[in-house]
């Protein structure tokens, strides 16, 4: 079985480090992940995904990340389904195993962002159709050429460094 999630997005709020009663560090936060396509109005859509980190990962996140910072999260998807008053509720959270910086420190301090905190990057139009490449014949022969300019080096078996 495989349960692997890799996400890149921006924190929607400052993460807050907490501790369980037994002293284990944890934090819960949400990231905004842009969808690949824009809506009919040409605006970016985003999914807001809950992330939970424990121990050293939680301490690292609370120390180095804040609202608006780009983060890369590697982890696994967990469901936290529960029933309340006879109604079944479905909830999902990503349990972070590893986290990485999504941008350099200078980029995070000086990037131009839109009103949603998303970095504005130029969009390259995708080609509608590209010509299919034609197969080229492969030449398997090796051409050595003239080796007269090379001289044989005699060695005493010692490595020169």
Q: What is the pLDDT of residues 37-80, one digit of tens each?
A: 888 888 889 999 999 999 999 999 999 999 999 999 999 999 98
Residue 24 confidence (pLDDT): 95
pTM score, whole prediction: 0.62
Residue 103 confidence (pLDDT): 84
| Cβ density class 133-147: b for 16+ within 10 Å, e for less | eeeeeeeeeeeeeee
Residue 72 confidence (pLDDT): 95
Nearest-CA neighbor of 116 among 56, 13, 32?
A: 32
C-alpha angle with apex 144: 139 to 149, nearest 5 degrees? 155
What's domain 5-37+44-110's architecture? Beta Barrel (2.40)
| Mean pLDDT to the nearest integer, 73-102 | 93
Domain boundaries, the chain: 5-37+44-110
- Say how far apart CA 136 and CA 13 lie, in whole Å: 55
Q: Quick one: tokens of 4? A: 């692997």
Work out the mean pLDDT of the chain and round it to a whole number.
79
């Amino acid at each position: 079985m495989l349960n692997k999630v890799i996400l890149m997005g921006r924190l929607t709020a400052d993460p807050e480090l907490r501790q369980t009663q037994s002293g284990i560090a944890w934090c819960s936060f949400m990231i905004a992940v842009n969808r690949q396509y824009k809506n009919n109005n040409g605006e970016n859509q985003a999914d807001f995904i809950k992330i939970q980190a424990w121990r050293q990962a939680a301490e690292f996140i609370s120390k180095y990340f804040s609202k608006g910072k780009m983060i890369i999260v590697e982890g696994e998807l967990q469901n936290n389904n529960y029933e309340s008053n006879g109604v079944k509720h479905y909830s999902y959270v990503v349990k972070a195993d590893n986290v990485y910086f999504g941008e350099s420190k200078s980029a995070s301090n000086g990037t131009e962002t839109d009103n949603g905190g998303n970095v504005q990057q130029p969009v390259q139009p995708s080609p509608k159709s590209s010509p299919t490449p034609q197969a080229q014949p492969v030449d398997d022969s090796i051409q050595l050429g003239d080796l007269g300019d090379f001289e044989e080096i005699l060695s005493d078996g010692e490595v020169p460094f």
